[in-house]
Structure 1
Amino acid sequence: MEKGYRNLGYALLLLIPLAYFGMDKSWFIHFPQFGDQMNGYLRFHTVVVLAWIGLLIVQPMLIRYHQVEWHRRVGKGSYFLFPILLLSTWFQVIRISGSDEPINLFFPLADSVLLILFYGLAIYYRRQQPLHMRYMIGTAIVLLGPTMAYIGPHRLGWSANFTQYAQYAITIFLLTGLLRLDQMHGKKYKPYLIIGLSYAVHLLVYSLLFMWT
């Protein structure tokens, strides 16, 4: 593993407290007796997202500690887990499509496109570890969207619009830092350019759709 990314697995542990603050009232407080607080979809989606976060954390740690064979086995498990992750998101699409604000379909659909793009590229470059790793980092960044969508309004009292632009700002900050790190060490930073361009399109479409809301 590249020296600058040896602690990537530990850094991704930050996804756990983010998930806690992003799903507190919908999962952790009511576990294991949910009652009417959670529907079946939300339980399913939460479990799948937590499993994906676990995979993102474990995989770089396996590489760091030279457990390459286990890394490959867990990676093959993602072929099964990733479609389930998308399926759990599709349930949200169905729910929103029947609501009073179908424009909010943008969020699960756009995030699904980003996930498919980044994961697809990660699998395509699975034998080129530096590129594979960077695109998997891209899938982790996508998780910031739904997490911030809860934390902003419910924890910090932000408006939905301000929360979304705050997410873009955080994403730009992260990608800029990662890109500069690679530039300083002469590494391949093209994946971060592709991820950044994808988010630029995400930002443009969001701004056009929600400009007058």
Structure 2
Amino acid sequence: MEKTYRFLPYYFAVFTVLVIYCFYQSYFGEFPDFEGVVSPIGNVPITITSVTHFHVFMIMAWLLMLIVQPILILKKQLNWHRLLGKISYGLVALMILSFILIVRQEQLREKSLPVFASNLLDPIVFIVMYGLAIYYRKKPAYHARFMVMTIIGFIGPAFARIQGPALETVFALFALFLILEWRTRKIYKPYLISLGYYVTHLGIVAYLFFGNQALLDSLWHFFFEKG
């Protein structure tokens, strides 16, 4: 692994702690009975279901894998790294299922076009970044950088729980890693691809929410209308 990226286990570990902190009041802090959980939307009590537990478990499994994978590279355990990479195919498939189930659960509890708009951004961004990482799996420099970018799909949902600056943080990360590349190996392309895709996708979602809510509402009814 490049010397510059030896910090990746710490980077992913810190991000995992941040996610736990953001969801502490609405989930982790109520372990094990999960009574008194309130929704970040309207601050109303909600019931934690098996769908919620499944979704959280899959997210935490993914974040744990992100921590372990660069450690395996550092320890030169390449066979284990590749095996875990193959396992990630199934893990991501289950994560996508958990995204679908949790979005449907929460939107049927309370229709929210702003949240639905974010649902059209963050999970899809994660899937695209992961897909690019797998596409470039035989090109380690690109593969590692796209894996780094998979976390930007988690920033919005996490920061929404603490009303944090999600977009500012995402663009700050892009700036940080682009500056890092400028000072070291100058492998800009993965981050430029990620930034270009993110801005484009964000623009589409912003158009739906700010410029064509009728279409956004039609999409909501297509996916969630009962009966």
Q: In which range does the TM-score fall when normalised by the shorter chain?
A: 0.7 to 0.9
The correspondence for 1:133, drawn from 140, 144, 150, is 144
Equivalent-residue separation in structure 2 for 1:181 and 1:120 (angstroms): 23
Letter of the 2:155 partner, please give it: L
Letter of the 2:8 partner, please give it: L
Equivalent-residue separation in structure 2 for 1:34 and 1:150 (angstroms): 17
User: Which protein has the bigger helix share?
Assistant: 1
Letter of the 1:5 partner, please give it: Y
Counterpart of 2:182 in structure 1 is: 183
**Cα distance, 1:203 vs structure 2:** 3.2
Counterpart of 1:30 in structure 2 is: 30
Answer yes or no: is the 8 Å Cα contact 2:117–2:209 preserved in 1.
no
Counterpart of 1:193 in structure 2 is: 192
1:73 aligns with 2:72: no
1:75-100 deviation digits (Å, cap 9, x = unpaired): 11101100111111101332354333
Answer yes or no: is the 8 Å Cα contact 1:9–1:57 preserved in 2.
yes
SS at match of 2:30: coil
Could you state the TM-score of these two structures normalised by the residue count of structure 1?
Answer: 0.86
Equivalent-residue separation in structure 2 for 1:101 and 1:33 (angstroms): 27
CA RMSD, aligned part only?
A: 2.0
SS at match of 1:151: coil
Letter of the 1:9 partner, please give it: P
**Cα distance, 1:34 vs structure 2:** 2.9
Counterpart of 2:158 in structure 1 is: 147
**Cα distance, 1:150 vs structure 2:** 0.8
Q: 1:30 to 1:205 in 2, by over 3 A?
A: same
Letter of the 1:144 partner, please give it: I
> How do residues 153-172 of structure 1 correspond to structure 2 at under 5 angstroms?
163=164, 166-172=165-171
**Cα distance, 1:147 vs structure 2:** 0.6
Equivalent-residue separation in structure 2 for 1:112 and 1:184 (angstroms): 31
Superposition misfits of 4+ residues, deviation over 4 angstroms: none
1:8-61 deviation digits (Å, cap 9, x = unpaired): 111211122212222113332222223574112111111110001001111111
Equivalent-residue separation in structure 2 for 1:193 and 1:14 (angstroms): 24
Letter of the 1:67 partner, please give it: Q
Equivalent-residue separation in structure 1 for 2:31 and 2:92 (angstroms): 25
Equivalent-residue separation in structure 2 for 1:193 and 1:77 (angstroms): 28
Structure 1 unmatched runs, 5+: 153-162
Equivalent-residue separation in structure 2 for 1:56 and 1:169 (angstroms): 23
Counterpart of 2:225 in structure 1 is: none
Could you state the TM-score of these two structures normalised by the residue count of structure 2?
Answer: 0.81
Counterpart of 1:60 in structure 2 is: 70
Equivalent-residue separation in structure 2 for 1:57 and 1:30 (angstroms): 25
Range 197-206 or range 48-57, more displaced? 197-206
